[in-house]
Amino acid sequence: MTDDRNSKTPEASDDHDRAAPEDALTSSTENPPEKRRDSRWNTSMETRLQTTPGVRPKKATLLNSADDVQAVIKQVLPAVGKARLEHQRALARGGMGHVDIVLDVGLQRRMARKVIGSGLSSKGRNVSLFLREAQITAQLDHPSIVPVHEVGIDEVGRLFFTMKLVEGKTLDEWQDVHGPDETPLSSESLLELLEIIIKLCDAVAFSHDRGVIHGDIKPPNVMVGDYGQVYLMDWGLARLKDDSATHISEVLSEDQSGGGGGTPAFMSPEQARGEAIDERTDVFGLGSLLYCALRGRPPYWGKTLADTLLKASLAECDPLLQKDYPTVPSELLRIVAKAMSASSSDRHESVEELGSELRAVLRGGEELPRIRVAAGETIIRQGETGHEVFVLEVGRASVSREIDGEIVQKGELGPGDVFGEMAILVEAPRNATVTAVEDCVLTTITGDLLQQEVHGMKPWMGALIRTLAERFQRQENGKT
């Protein structure tokens, strides 16, 4: 027996799908196809769910009346007079107060709440600094600056502000993991460090554009998240430029002609002397982060705070020398030295310039392998097939050739010299022997990588380099 309920005759289908001529005319003129298509999408989700076989909307258990609405609101939002922020645990404590983890009951969001110290809440300057930090940070909307949510007074009368809860490590804690006890950073850790500092450069460049100088850049004020997040924290000592696009309440304004404090171990010389600071003060601070991570200790260190401050004011900072850090690119050491120049006029003119140079180092390649060769050992030998090019980073080496059975000294190589490229570019045996005169550190570049770079050039440039290499090779072999 046929189930007529699920069958449809042609007549029934035509009657259902075909409109009367008058309806069709109205539909085509007053409700064009584009609008008709849109109207189908305007059907409520509830109606579509009800008419879709096998799909049933969930039954509402609340909101069936005004009383139900109020019941939901009471369950979600705290009652008037009841604390909206529930304390969960203490997070950190410092000179200006402490930071707790709290739960915003209404939003079910965990946040960090900074509360001014009980002994400071009656001191005008400390209150001013606390409120300035909240107002300034709240206006710096950048991925690497922690957003501030609100400022207020809690149920027991304490001044506080809340901000995003950042979970991770401070930069000095990161250093303890990747380079403990002044251990040199691995290639992978060095690349990660560059990525961290570049993100900080972006954040500081943004704050400078908004007219804000941080003034206290140091490892404890940098947070590194578990998923690549980087945050510059603690803007309590930030200074506003005269033309700043960031504003604070007039009552919080104060004279900002001097350095305004900071941390002596990481201070720029002008800041340590109490002089006016500007964007290049933060350039120094970012350079000091790199210095500390590479060396494993701050730029300045004295027996007392006054001793450290004196060293900072005189820029008495031991330089990072290539011979002491052979695995660190010489260009990076140059960038750190420039950023930390004693005179601000000798530093990078802006944080953008500093960040650009660091990006160039990062793009300069994955860290090329380096080898150490002891004094007296042969690096390359005449007549052998060449597979690598060498860049001498540390030490000295001698160049010699065997001519008619006699060894002839051809010269000496020092840091920065490149050798071994001819045998690869012209696919010929080595035409000289290079021997380490003293302990050497060399960067090695494989023939495949060199050829890849040459092939990646414009055709005429690659051809020019090969032609020059062949010409030099013929000259070395005494051919015309």
Q: Domain limits of the chain? A: 17-51, 85-164, 168-240+258-363, 370-476
Residue 30 confidence (pLDDT): 47
Residue 336 confidence (pLDDT): 96
Residue 259 confidence (pLDDT): 52
Residue 242 confidence (pLDDT): 82
Helix (H, G, I), strand (E, B) or coil at 286: helix
Residue 121 confidence (pLDDT): 66
Q: Which of 223, 195, 218 is closest to 284 using CA atoms? A: 218
User: Out of 1.10.101.10, 1.10.10.60, 2.60.120.10, 3.30.70.20, which CATH number does the structure's domain 370-476 have?
Assistant: 2.60.120.10
Residue 331 confidence (pLDDT): 85
Q: Which of 444, 443, 412, 432 is closest to 473 using CA atoms? A: 432
The alpha-helical segments, DSSP class H, found in 79-219 are 124-138, 171-178, 187-209
Cα separation, 366 vs 181, in Å, equals 26
CB-CB neighbours of 356 under 10 Å: 13
Answer yes or no: are the C-beta atoms of 436 and 379 closer than 8 Å: yes
**Of the residues 38, 68, 100, 216, which is catalytic?**
216
- How is domain 85-164 classified at the CATH fold level? Phosphorylase Kinase; domain 1 (3.30.200)
Residue 16 confidence (pLDDT): 41
User: Out of 3.30.10.20, 1.10.510.10, 3.90.1150.10, 1.10.260.40, which CATH number does the structure's domain 168-240+258-363 have?
Assistant: 1.10.510.10
Residue 39 confidence (pLDDT): 46
Cα separation, 342 vs 269, in Å, equals 6
Q: Give the chain's residues under pLDDT 70.
A: 1-64, 79-82, 121-122, 254-260, 364-367, 423-427, 447-466, 468-480
Cα separation, 160 vs 151, in Å, equals 6
226 is a catalytic site residue:
no
